[in-house]
């Protein structure tokens, strides 16, 4: 059931990924981008319909992107993994919301190099409200994580701008890390920054070597921050705590 619900929310994430950057309403039936015909409900079943229709519109045979079932599967698999690790709890619900925002925001960032405030700031607000009402969390820990997450990345971005005169990180990345800190706590931030930086550097080197602009090639950092947060909640939290205890045993 969790997997199925995750797939359904993955389908909704596809709506946000496509419509939100264009300023379109997120409500309303799905339709084919080519012929404009409304997609029937039985042609809009997460994951299955894409393969039943062989990735084409039932009306005009225009091709649909493989991304649609991919996003649905990623969301379903991540929700299932979260539920397997944390079971029935308020924390699980908050992690579901986080994963939803991370997946939707990452694909938007990949397409448009932006992270919408509706996702990042909305996530910050929900995480702080959750810290206040969720008996499994403490408000001050969430608030400190919010300040620490946003503050650290803001400082990195500011130092980079001072020395290079160019913006290396967008405001959306800062807000995203603030949301992660507000939900996962300040102890998660060093791990998320380290892991996302390593992964981003590997991909960045590859892209720059295969790009005409070489070192001027730009890649979005949001997906790597999201991946670092997902790795943290899906099993590497102990590594993050070990990292903190190694350098800051008093905390």
Please tell me the predicted confidence (pLDDT) of residue 129.
95
pLDDT in tens, 78-111: 999 999 999 999 999 999 999 999 999 999 999 9
The per-residue pLDDT of the chain, averaged, comes to 85
The encoded tokens of residue 228 equal 């670092």
pLDDT in tens, 210-236: 666 655 567 888 999 999 999 999 987
pLDDT in tens, 32-60: 777 777 877 777 888 888 888 888 877 78
pTM of the model: 0.86
Percent of the chain with pLDDT strictly greater than 90: 46
With a cut of 60, say whether residue 147 has pLDDT above it.
yes
């Amino acid at each position: 059931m969790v997997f199925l619900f995750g797939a359904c929310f993955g389908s909704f994430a596809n709506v946000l990924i496509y419509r939100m950057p264009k300023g379109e309403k997120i409500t309303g039936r799905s339709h084919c981008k080519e012929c404009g015909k409304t997609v029937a409900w039985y042609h809009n079943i997460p994951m299955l319909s894409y393969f039943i229709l062989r990735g084409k519109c039932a009306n005009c045979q225009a091709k649909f992107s493989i991304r649609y079932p991919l996003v649905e599967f990623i969301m379903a698999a991540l929700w299932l993994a979260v539920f397997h690790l944390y079971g029935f709890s308020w924390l699980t619900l908050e992690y579901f919301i986080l994963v939803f925002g991370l997946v939707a925001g990452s694909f938007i960032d990949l397409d448009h190099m932006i992270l919408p405030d509706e996702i990042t700031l909305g996530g910050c607000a929900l995480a702080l409200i959750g810290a206040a009402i969720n008996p499994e969390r403490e408000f001050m820990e969430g608030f400190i994580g919010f300040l620490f997450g946003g503050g650290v990345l803001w400082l990195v971005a500011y130092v980079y701008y001072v020395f290079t005169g160019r913006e290396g990180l967008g405001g959306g990345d800062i807000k995203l890390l603030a949301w992660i800190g507000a939900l996962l706590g300040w102890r998660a931030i060093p791990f998320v920054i380290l892991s996302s930086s390593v992964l981003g550097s590997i991909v960045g080197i590859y892209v720059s070597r295969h790009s005409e602009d070489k070192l001027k090639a730009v890649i979005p950092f949001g997906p790597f921050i999201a991946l670092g947060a997902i790795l943290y909640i899906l099993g590497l939290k102990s590594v993050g705590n070990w990292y903190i205890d190694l350098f800051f045993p008093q905390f």
